[in-house]
Structure 1
Amino acid sequence: MNEPTLRKSRLALAGGLVIALAVGGTGFLIGRGTSPREVEPSAAPVTTAPVAAQPTPSLPDPRDLVKTRADLIALASQASDALASGQPLPEGVADLAGQRFELRLPFGCRGPSEAGSDSPMRWRYDADAKALRVHVSPVVWSSDGLRASEDGSASDVVAEGFWIPRPWTASEACPPSQDSVAPTGADAVTLPGQALAVAQFSGGAGQRLRDGKPYETVVRAAADEVPDGQGLRLRLRGRIGETADGTPVSCRQPAGPEQRPICIIAVTLNDVAIDNPRTGKSLATWTADRAGLADR
């Protein structure tokens, strides 16, 4: 019997190893193909919080919008143009009735009035008594100075209010100081060219006129609280009303078509106050009630 040589032994071992690897690999592949695969767990459903419905923003009530001096001047300008051109008032003007307004009228810009002055809007300081005396008289328009309704039913209407000084500017402050022929301390006068006013009309809902009774107050004031070049300001707050013919503004040309229209805006006053711009404080306030604007 022939003994195996070293070379033959090595070949036999290598062949056996190859056969073993082939059998093992085949078994691994068969087992992998037949074994159940692991199923990956499905992702948990993501829950989202319900989105709250956002309320639709509501538009502000036009009656809550506060009209300013510029708005009142624009209203009068529309009415003036309609009168001068022979056209009806623009659409929407009547809707202004009932809207709120706030207006400040400067006065006493040239300094204190002289003792005994009869200027309708004035102030004077008593240094010895440290007293600031203020006097504001409303203007009263009789039926002759107002435009009556077409049927003449407004022939006895009376209005009471104030001229708006310098109605060509939206500024509510005293005009800048300029060289003028008027001496310091001279009383301002109502010029024939006054063209715009605000007034309460007799018979208005919930109001009574003061019959020309002035707004007067006396307050203690130190020397550094005396009005300077800013003067004082008459503050009017309320709502736009209706004139005798049912519109918010009434214009007329008593001297003919070549005259600039004179317009009166109807208002219902809620309160009247006198402010001191130098201190930023109110000197007096008159509040409307069922009996009209009562003295403070």
Structure 2
Amino acid sequence: MMHARGNAGPVRRNILAALALVAVVPGISGCEQKSDPTAEETAAPKPEKASAALETPTIDPLSAVGRSDLLAAAAASADEVAAGNSLPKSNLQLTNRSFELRLPFACDGGILGKWGEWSFDQKTRVLRVTFRPQNWGDDPIFNRIAAGAAYDAAEGFWIERPWTRAEQCPTPEPSPASTTIPESRTNPAPVATESAENSLALVQYFSPDASRTLRRGNRPYTYTAKLAAAGQTPPRALRVKLVGRISGFADGQPIHCVVEAPSKPPTCGIAVDFTRVSLEDAVTGEDLAGWGG
């Protein structure tokens, strides 16, 4: 009996230890379940909201809108219209903003700027430049872009090569031809037909009650200068600098686009009011002449 009682102590202690272990295990399990409250979310992540393929970036409201901002906004509008959707709300931030951009022309080979012509006579040292805006008053495309708004005239400029933010002439391909300035350099005269590549325009619509003196009509911008006989070289390229305000359309959108054919990019127009047009030397940035405020 004494031997049996002597063994009862260790046995009892083993039983109590086993019971204590059973009691602790559920508690440990519960602690492990609470240690990672995001385990369930990690195992089944929530799907993220799909973002738009193209969206106009947020623009500093104190700065003038530049070429890159206008191209991004036009691309967003064209993308939505081509897909049959409404115009992007992100573009609304551009309406009533000032803008500034430059259009190169007088480039080597007449690649750009068929809306202008220029010449430099080596003998007389006289530089003559003429350029003019487009008149789209009778163009059905710009009538559709206006979306029912009444107007008497529509004037402006195509933004050539809208796939690049560059405001310089394209880099010419290497040519074995001499780089000596010829006796006379003349850009081809403006062509009447529109290029199939034209898809984005800055257009100013003139309402029926607007002053006719604000219209440019058929009056070209002209510049004539006699360069010094020595030490002054003619510009190798020219740019037209356009400054104004993005007026927008009746719906508040700054850009409207229309689809002529599913296989062609939409044609888009940015509604603006031009306040100043300048002629620049594209290489030095020198302001050669200006019209407007």
- The reply to whether TM is greater than 0.5 is yes
Counterpart selection for 2:235 from 227, 230, 234: 227
* Counterpart for residue 64 of structure 2: 66
Counterpart selection for 1:215 from 210, 214, 221: 221
What TM-score do you get using the length of structure 2 for normalisation?
0.65
Two-structure CA RMSD over aligned residues (Å): 3.1
Secondary structure (helix, strand or coil) at the match of 2:214 reads coil
Following superposition, the deviation at residue 252 of structure 1 comes to 1.2
Change (3 A) 1:259 1:202: same
Query: Counterparts of 1:252 and 1:212 in 2: how far apart (Å)?
Result: 26
Q: Does 1:146 align with 2:142?
A: yes
- Unaligned stretches of 5+ in structure 2? 1-58, 176-184
Counterpart selection for 2:242 from 231, 236, 241: 236
Q: Does 1:252 align with 2:250?
A: no
* Counterpart for residue 195 of structure 2: 191
In the TM superposition, 1:52-91 aligns within 5 A as 63-91=61-89
Do the aligned partners of 2:105 and 2:238 also contact (CA within 8 Å) in 1?
yes
What TM-score do you get using the length of structure 1 for normalisation?
0.65
Secondary structure (helix, strand or coil) at the match of 2:196 reads coil
Do the aligned partners of 2:168 and 2:282 also contact (CA within 8 Å) in 1?
no
**Residue range with higher mean Cα deviation, 99-108 or 195-204:** 195-204
Q: Does 1:273 align with 2:281?
A: no
Query: Counterparts of 1:112 and 1:194 in 2: how far apart (Å)?
Result: 16
Following superposition, the deviation at residue 185 of structure 1 comes to 6.0
Following superposition, the deviation at residue 186 of structure 1 comes to 6.0
Change (3 A) 1:276 1:245: same
- Give a deviation string over 1:33-61, Cα, whole Å, max 9, x none: xxxxxxxxxxxxxxxxxxxxxxxxxxxx9
Larger radius of gyration: 1
Change (3 A) 1:109 1:102: same
Q: Does 1:164 align with 2:159?
A: yes
* Counterpart for residue 122 of structure 1: 117
Following superposition, the deviation at residue 158 of structure 1 comes to 2.7
Q: Which stretches of structure 1, 4 residues or longer, exceed 4 Å deviation after superposition?
A: 204-207
* Overall identity of the aligned pairs, in %: 35
Following superposition, the deviation at residue 277 of structure 1 comes to 2.8
Instruction: State the one-letter code of the partner of 1:108.
Output: A
Do the aligned partners of 1:112 and 1:185 also contact (CA within 8 Å) in 2?
no
Change (3 A) 1:75 1:141: same
Query: Counterparts of 2:198 and 2:206 in 1: how far apart (Å)?
Result: 22
In the TM superposition, 1:12-51 aligns within 5 A as none
Following superposition, the deviation at residue 131 of structure 1 comes to 1.4
Report the structure, 1 or 2, having the larger helix content. Answer: 2
Query: Counterparts of 1:285 and 1:150 in 2: how far apart (Å)?
Result: 29
Q: Does 1:104 align with 2:102?
A: yes
Instruction: State the one-letter code of the partner of 1:70.
Output: S
- Give a deviation string over 1:188-242, Cα, whole Å, max 9, x none: 86521211111211129788221132111111224743122xx100001111112
Following superposition, the deviation at residue 178 of structure 1 comes to 1.8
